[in-house]
Chain A
Amino acid sequence: MKTVLFIMLALFVSVSAQTYGATTQKPDSAKKEILYFHNTRRCATCKAIEAETKKVLDENFSNEVKNGKIVFSEYNAEDKSNKELVKELGVTGTALIIVEGDKKTDLTSKGFMYAVKQPEKLRKAIIKALEE
């Protein structure tokens, strides 16, 4: 009897653990996060990347930002408190990454190539990544 009770208890624990895990780990597919990383000292291009991203959000996605479907956050990549996030996303300095559930779109290279001289190309890439 004791064994049966123990097995039942073990089953209950494992099932509830799975359900719990499923609810907390399930990525929020409706939410898109734009993560902008920078070092303590920001170069001109680094600042331009942030400015262009914010412009896109203001001009094209203001409703989504208001209702929390798109969240913009800024992090200092050199700050110790962001160390784990930096490692998890493989960020090594200035970076612009869009995360949606398990999907990760890295726009860093485009940012450095276009932010200053051809910002419209960067904006297009951000819009495309957010609309996908």
Chain B
Amino acid sequence: METFLTSLYENSGIPLLSAFILGLLTAIGPCSMATNITAIGFISKDIGQKKQVFFSGVVYTLGRAASYWLLAFILFIGADQFSLSYFFQSYGEKIVGPLLILIGLIMLGVIKINFPGLTKFSKRLEEKNKWNFWNVFLLGMVFALAFCPYSGAFYFGMLIPMSIGSVQGLVLPLAFAFATGIPVLIIAWLLAYTISGVSSFYNVLKSVEIWMRRVIAVLFIGVGIYYILVMFVLP
């Protein structure tokens, strides 16, 4: 797959296609795996509402697009590329672990945030069976910014030079973002329209929905611990 994509990239004279391929390479790259699994877990907790699951996948991808586009735009209007990419490549991955654990603990109700402004957000995460556009959108935004060396090289090293040369170039981060969201989109589609179509399985899933939430919270904490171990304990 990677070999095919890289040869396609080498022969692509169309910037839009190149950006899309770079996004696909990032999506199937080793370091996107953990965030993809977490995102799929997060959106599948609403398995009872078929369409919602697929729509969540779309909103998650839109969140990613917002981050990639905004970052490209900031660089386009003249921000220092060196400082920004150095910052994200040094800290992006380090923030993810603690953040995932925090979200997981809030979902479980272990931590209650009482800061003004944040209360609403934590309440939303705790509310059962209530889907919220912004939660999924924010998750997409944050995961997009969690650059690892692999995605950083593709985004900052290859996509940004193509994108910030002209105003038209600013459409490229969107193609890149769409491609990075594809694994989550595919699984969301399968969950929404294939698995839930099997009625007996669907009924089982619906009955365990209350538990799904806790399982997902534990998944968040687990992936968070994985990130912390990899980033800080076993370098």
Contacts and interface: CB of A to CB of B under 8 A. Distances in A.
Interface stretch (B82-90, B114-122, B201-209): B82-90
A43 B90 contact: no
Interface string A26-45: 00000000000011111111
A117 B89 contact: no
B6 A118 contact: yes
A108 B31 contact: no
Interface residues of B, number: 26
Nearest to B235: A41
A44 B152 CA distance: 14
> Secondary structure of the B side of the interface?
helix
Interface in A34-66: 38-46
A112 B153 contact: yes
A94 B154 CA distance: 12
B148 interface: yes
B150 A92 contact: no
B149 to A, nearest CB: 4
A114 interface: yes
A113 interface: yes
Contacts, number: 67
Contact of B153 (A42, A87, A93): A93
Contact of A92 (B82, B93, B231): B82
Contacts of A100: none
Interface of A: 38-46, 77-78, 86-87, 90, 92-94, 108-109, 111-114, 116-118, 121
27 contacts: A38-B149, A39-B89, A39-B149, A40-B235, A41-B235, A42-B149, A42-B235, A43-B149, A43-B150, A45-B150, A77-B86, A86-B86, A90-B82, A92-B85, A92-B89, A93-B86, A93-B152, A109-B158, A111-B153, A112-B150, A112-B154, A114-B6, A117-B2, A117-B6, A118-B3, A118-B6, A121-B6
Interface of B: 2-3, 6, 9, 25, 29-31, 82, 85-86, 89-90, 93, 148-150, 152-154, 156-158, 230-231, 235
